Amino acid sequence: MKLSGLIAKSDGSIVRGQVSFEDRITALDAVTDVDDHYILPGFVDLQVNGSHSIDVMNASPDLLATLGRHLAREGTTAWMPTAVTAPIEKIAKVHDSIAAAFENSHSDTPADGAAILGMHLEGPFISPFRLGAHPKLNLEPRGDAFERVLAMRALRLITLAPELRGGLDAIRRLTSRGVVVSIGHTNATLDEANAGIDAGARMFTHLFNAMRPLNHRDPGVVAAALAQSPAIPAIIPDGVHVHPAMLRLAFDARGRSGLIVVTDKVALAGTSGSEKIVGRARATIRDGAARLDDGTLAGSIISMLDAVRRMVQTVHVSIGDAAVMAATNPARLIGANDRGCIQIGARADLILLSRTLELKAVFIGGRELN
């Protein structure tokens, strides 16, 4: 198959051309007379707690597949089901469902939904001072609970607080096993955050949220995230979790190659707004996000396409740069180097957007979704 249009490259540039593909991209040719739409790599969302009434914490493998189909029709072609703080027995059950769904999504059957890339475990090894909507079931990253998590075969990404006792050793052990460690839900000082990076941490979970705030005399973890380093901050561009001016500040500090867009969406996303249990308590949609009764933010209700639109239309980054942050960077972070980019040999996970950023078509493995 062939598509022509304005192609988003992994360096942020937009070029006129034609993409030829089967299940993978076979050729890229320069063409001047092209269709009037953007061709972007499918989005890769590293933090999805739920959507369309499906909660990752309670979902069977079949329901996770259904959630993946919803995501695909929003332009997301790969994702990480994200488990939150819970008793270790509950986390183990969630892991088993994700592992089964992962195996199913990588079978030989043609995909009609977003591929699962493994589990993101957000907790329980987080700071008691920065729980956000998480229940008070946080643990130190050591002992039997940590050993059980370390052995989880589908674990690919974990959020933890490096300042906790055993935190740096946990980061080293996780990274040696191939798990990406993200600093988040943390009260770390600047020095503690940098020690986490030195130990191997390579991401920051939802920058500015559930972490020690930036202060000119106590820079804290935010200063570590905004500085140039191997660790890339992920950010939620819903206009609620982070003010657009701070989104721009983060982009100016780190650039297109140093920022990842995530949704951190929850089961209330894509619904009419009926209440759901999120983390430690009941949540409803209020003022543009999911919130607990006390007003605590409990996740977003946006899609990755919504996030990209906000980055382009409100933060004023280019569509090419937004595509890098929403597809290329997250894929590279977790080693999925054949995703999130438009180049020969990459998977033909592609989306077409109109010039006004309306979704026109989604291709997964070269197959157009109905």
3-class SS string, the chain? CEEEEEEECCCCCEEEEEEEECCEEEEEEECCCCCCEEEEECEEEEEECEECCEEHHHCCHHHHHHHHHHHHCCCEEEEEEEEECCCHHHHHHHHHHHHHHHHHHCCCCCCCCCEECCEEEECCCCCCCCCCCCCCCCCCCCHHHHHHHHCCCCEEEEEECCCCCCHHHHHHHHHHCCCEEEECCECCCHHHHHHHHHHCCCEECCCCCCECCCCCCCCHHHHHHHCCCCCEEEECCCCCCCCHHHHHHHHHHHCHHHCEECCCECCCCCCCCCCEEECCEEEEEECCEEEECCCCECCECCCHHHHHHHHHHCCCCCHHHHHHHHHHHHHHHCCCCCCCCCCCCCECCEEEEECCCCEEEEEECCEECC
pTM of the model: 0.97
pLDDT attached to residue 108: 64
Q: Which CATH architecture has domain 2-368?
A: Alpha-Beta Barrel (3.20)
Determine which one of 55, 264, 306, 349 is catalytic.
Answer: 264
pLDDT of residue 109: 66
235-287 tens-digit pLDDT: 999 999 999 999 999 999 999 999 999 999 999 999 987 777 787 778 999 99
Closest CA to 46 of 130, 115, 94: 115
Q: Name the residue with tokens 């982009």.
A: 251
Q: Find all residues with CB under 8 Å of 212, minimum gap 6, and list them.
A: 130, 186, 187, 188, 189, 218, 220, 221, 222
264 is catalytic: yes
Q: Tell me what pLDDT residue 105 has.
A: 81
Sequence-ordered list of residues with C-beta below 8 angstroms from that of 148, at least 6 positions apart, any chain:
88, 92
CA distance 11 to 179: 26
Closest CA to 113 of 61, 78, 55, 68: 68
Report the alpha-carbon distance of residue 368 to residue 251 in Å, rounded.
33
Q: What is the pLDDT of residue 110?
A: 65
**pLDDT tens profile 185-240:** 999 999 999 999 999 999 999 999 999 999 999 999 999 999 999 999 999 999 99
With a cut of 70, list the residues of the chain below it in pLDDT. Answer: 108-110
